[in-house]
Structure formats: structure tokens, C-alpha cells
Amino acid sequence: MAAAAAMAGGAVAAPATGTAHSTTTTVATARPGSAASQVAGADVVRAARSAAVAHAKDTGVGPQETLTVKDSLVDPEGKRHVRFERAYKGVPVVGGDLVVHLDAKGGYAGATRAARHQVALKSVTPELTERQAAAKAAEAVKGTAGRTELVVDATGGTSVLAYRVTVTGGRAAEKGALRAVTVDAVSGKVLATTPLTDAFISPKLKDTLRAKGRTAAPRLGAAATPRTAGSGAAATYPAQANGNGASIFVGTVPLVTTQTARSAFTLKDLSRGSAETRTASGQELETFTKGKAFTNSTNRWGNGTASDPTSAAVDAQFGVTSTFDYYKGTFGRNGIKNDGVGPRALVHFGNKVGNAFWSPDCWCMLYGDGDGETFKQPLVALDVTGHELTHGVISATADFQPTRVDAQGNQFGEAGSLNESFADIFGTGMEFRTNNASNPPNYLLGEKLGLDQQFLRRLDKPSLDKLEGTVDYWDAGSYDREVHAGSGVSSHAFYLLAEGSGKKTIGKFSYDSPTYDGQSVTGIGRDKAEQIFYRALTRYMVSTSDFHDARKATLQAAADIHGADSAEYKAVDRAWAAVNVTEANTPSARR
């Protein structure tokens, strides 16, 4: 799905006419710097809202629409970016997201928008009632209908008055998974089904493992006893305390906990926005607060195996706090929403759930213990957490959406592929920053899960994955490719930008990255590549961005940070060309 209109993907559109992918662009040069930024103030938001209305030809904002701020950033060099969600005559617009860009002086510098058409309806009065729409949604997927909201669906290239119904469970759904079913509010036709929980393991992968008769069973260490932790009295309670835990996947690790009495501790980290892990106790809980807190009297947690329910909690807590540290230390992002709130996790979710999820409904991580058929252990590996929490960051920013979802729950389309790819990219980034001795950093995903091919996906040569069929290069089939398979295009581009092509050994792992055209690529280093991709995600991408939009977005990000004439800018262009994403083969806008 193409991010269209005034700004397609990454290139800032000047206040001039143009079509998606070919809009006249203005590339701003800036002093080198990181992507760290500040949240924009009310004056910046007002200026951006005024600019969106004044430049309606670029932004697509009509006189009957209102804008609600979702996110706002001020770059170190002074540029401002305000991300809006829209409502038409008071009805929320799905697929109407846009970002307004301002220069350092507050002047209009362009816009990025998801829907390229003008939102317009004859009426916002539905023919169906909420109850009728909920019944149709529940019947469509054989699930249980929950929240029902009247919306304008702008995702299909036209505007349709519809109901968006949240449905739990049903046909082909993972236990506890949520879906949004869109029902035409006039005709009653089911228009789309979209997953609301991002699962690490796709239905396609589970089907493949079942067909092969394979069960992922990682080799794990023996039981361990955590080191003795201090438990002296604090001046006041609650207080920060230093404990440690024996995990399933990352060895014995330090944990910052909360001391509530002389010999009473909770697995909650006050120093990281109250990041906390609780147990769902085998239930499919709807909210984090319904989970039971992990407490003890010693501040030593777990025994290193799944026989102790606390061991999985050690992995989860170490993972969520490490991810918090990664985003804050690398990008200056203070929490998943950049609001200072630490990540939260529920382990032991559901009965025999072989998956891990990011759930925007509870704004938390959900970890199953394995289903015994495809996965035997709790899915609490470090890169699983980094990947899934990055889905939370994406949800708070570009919010990439799949083009379609099949009856088995598999997602398709380039925006969905970018969703998986960016989660892989920053999930591996977190692993590198954490540098855990028991889980050495690498460009592989899921290497701890016990799969026969010894990883789930990899960034250097994605096609080595034979389970999901991940691809190395872009082709026209990417528009309707399953999202995990399609994620290889941008993941490969990132690896080439960071490390370059060809054979090399990084740490304890060997890589050999090819290119589409056979030409070599020289990397600029992982640190610079991460800054460029993060800035592209948080400033220049929207829910419908495709791979060519991602190319433009990362080029703009490189220009922001390093300058349009820099070696880094040229390296970004070269990395995308090496995966067959170029200006020359940019397709016509698809919406």
C-alpha cells in the first residue's frame, strides 16, 4: 500500500502539485547528529494544525475534518513533525493518518499522508445499528464481538461509512488474539479483517512446522540459583532495590526491583518508568492490571528453567527493561509511547499458547508457555521481546497496516512487511546494545527458539529462511506477499547499509550478504543505520507506506542527519538499489 499524496514515504513534498512517488521534493541538509529529539510543544502543534488546513491540497484535510495529535517531535536541528489522526464530521477516519512537517522557524515544509483521496461522504448516519454490525462481525470470523465504533474507512482508496468491531477469538485465531472487523454501515458487507495483536509466530509458520512434524525445542541449561541479593531496610517504602534472577534464555541477570518492606520485593522497576512483569496464571486476561504481581522475600528470582514459573518472568522483565534502555539510550525515546511509561508484560498467558504478542489493547506484552506441538518452551527469548515491543513503537508512530488478511490469519502487503521488518531491525539492535553473554548479539531472529534451521529470520541473506520463505529482493509480487516473507526486502537493505555486502564475521557469527545487481555495498555502521531508519519511521512514514516510500523516507532521514551530499545519503540509496528498490522502478501510486 503506497503512502501517497503530498509526501510519498520519505521525501518531503514542497507546497507544489504532484502525484505519489513523483512529487516535487525538498531535501533539507543539516548538521550531523542523532535522531534524538524532544516532544513538540503546544505552539508547534497549533502551527502544524494551521499548516495542514492552509495547505489542504497537500494534506487532504477538508473543511469538515478535525485533527487529533498522535505524536509530535522536534529534531535536534530544529525541524518539527506532528502526526495527526483525522475525524470527518466527528467520525474517526481509519487510514487518514498524516504527518505535517515544519522547518526550524515553524514554516510549512511538507506533509506525509496515508490516504491520497479527499475524504467525503453524503452522510455519516448509518443504516445498521451497532448491535447489527457486531453480530455480522462476530459471525464473519466466528468470534466474540466487543467494542463497536462508527468510523470512516479510507483504507481502500475511497471513503466508506463503516463500523469497526473488535472481535476476540474465532476461526483461525490464536488464543487471546484480537481482530478488528470492518463492516459497511449501510450495506452490512464485511469489508476487512485486521489483526490488533502482533504475533511473533505466524499461522503460516505453525502450519509449516505441523506439516513437517517438527517441534521447536531449544537446548537449555540446567537449573541455577540466583546470587544472593541485598535485602536490608530502606529509609522509606516503596524503594528501588537491586536483585537478580536465573532466566531460561539469558542466564543469571541483574534486576532492579521494588522493595515494599524489609523482606518484600516486587518484579517492578521504578527506575524505568515502572516497567513490570506479572503472571496471567494461564488465563487469557484482557488487561495487565488483572495479572498477579511477582513477589518474594529474597529478591532472588527463578531457577533457570521453566519448572519455576518465575524463570520466564526473569526473561520477560530483563527483556522489557533492556528494550526500554535501548530506545532511550539510542534514540532518546522515553518509553514505547515516548511518555516515560515503562513496558509491561504478562507471562504464562493462556493455556498452551505457542506464541508471544504485542497487544495494543492492554498496551503490554503477552507471552505464551508453548503449545507442546510447535513450540515447547515459553516464548520469552530476548529478541522476541525486542521485536514485539518494537511493534508497540510502530503502533505509536507509523502504525503500518497490512493490505489484507486471509482466512487463516496470515497478513499480506508491503506496509505489513515493513511492520515485521522494522520490528526485526530494532529487535536485533536491542540485542546488540544489551550484549548478553548467554545470548550473543547477531543479525538473526529467533535463534534461541530451537528451530531446525537455527533461526527464524535473518537480515544478511533473508532467503536462507526456508520456513517462511523470506525474500532477499523486491519484485512486483511484494504487494501481495505474506508479511514475514516480504519483510526480507527492507531488513536486507538495513543490513547492507549497516554492514555492507559479502562475507564477514561479526562477533561469533558469520554472514554473507548478496546484492540484486551483483555490485558491492560498503556499510556505514550499525549505529548510523539505526538512526536513519528510526528517524524515517518516526517522521516520514505512515500506515500505508510501501518499500519505495521507505526508500524515500530513509533518504530524507539521511539528509536530515548527515546532509544530502553525504556519503551516508549515497549509501542509503545504494543499499536500496542492492535490494532492487530504486527511483526508476517506483510503481504508480496504489491509492
Residue 109 lies in a domain: no
Report d(CA 357, CA 176) in Å as an integer. 9
Report d(CA 421, CA 383) in Å as an integer. 13
Mean pLDDT by runs of 10 across the 591 residues of the chain is: 39 36 32 54 94 96 96 94 98 97 96 93 97 96 94 94 91 74 97 88 87 83 67 79 97 98 96 98 93 98 97 98 98 96 97 93 94 93 98 97 89 97 98 97 96 96 96 96 98 99 97 97 99 98 97 98 98 99 86 43
Whole-prediction pTM = 0.92
Inter-residue contact 543 to 400 (CB < 8 Å): yes
Residue 36 lies in a domain: no
Residues 263, 295 share a domain: yes
Residue 404 lies in a domain: no
Partner residues linked to 253 by β-bridges: 245
Active site residues: 388, 484
Residue 292: strand, helix, or coil: strand
Q: Measured between alpha carbons, how far apart are the two ends of the chain, in Å?
A: 7
Residue 365 lies in a domain: yes
Residues 387, 334 share a domain: yes
Residue 327 lies in a domain: yes
Residues 258, 177 share a domain: no
Residues 272, 135 share a domain: no
**Stretch (H or E) spanning 392:** helix 382-396
Domain that holds residue 146: 130-187
Residues 308, 224 share a domain: yes
Residue 554 lies in a domain: no
Residues 179, 242 share a domain: no
Q: Report how many domains make up the chain.
A: 2
Residue 118: strand, helix, or coil: coil
Residue 420 lies in a domain: no
Task: Look up residue 236 and give its DSSP letter.
Answer: S
> Strand ranges (DSSP E) for 216-302?
239-246, 252-261, 264-266, 268-269, 275-279, 292-293, 295-296, 300-301
Report d(CA 48, CA 131) in Å as an integer. 38
Quote the pLDDT of residue 389: 98
Residues 299, 276 share a domain: yes
Domain finish residue from 393, 424, 447: 393
Domain finish residue from 143, 164, 187: 187
Inter-residue contact 551 to 10 (CB < 8 Å): yes
Residues 269, 324 share a domain: yes
**Stretch (H or E) spanning 247:** none
Residue 400 lies in a domain: no
Quote the pLDDT of residue 218: 81
Domain finish residue from 150, 169, 187: 187
CATH of the domain at 222: 3.10.170.10
Partner residues linked to 93 by β-bridges: 152
Residues 368, 306 share a domain: yes
Pairing of strands 91-94, 144-153: parallel
Residues 201, 177 share a domain: no
Residues 163, 286 share a domain: no
Residues 270, 290 share a domain: yes
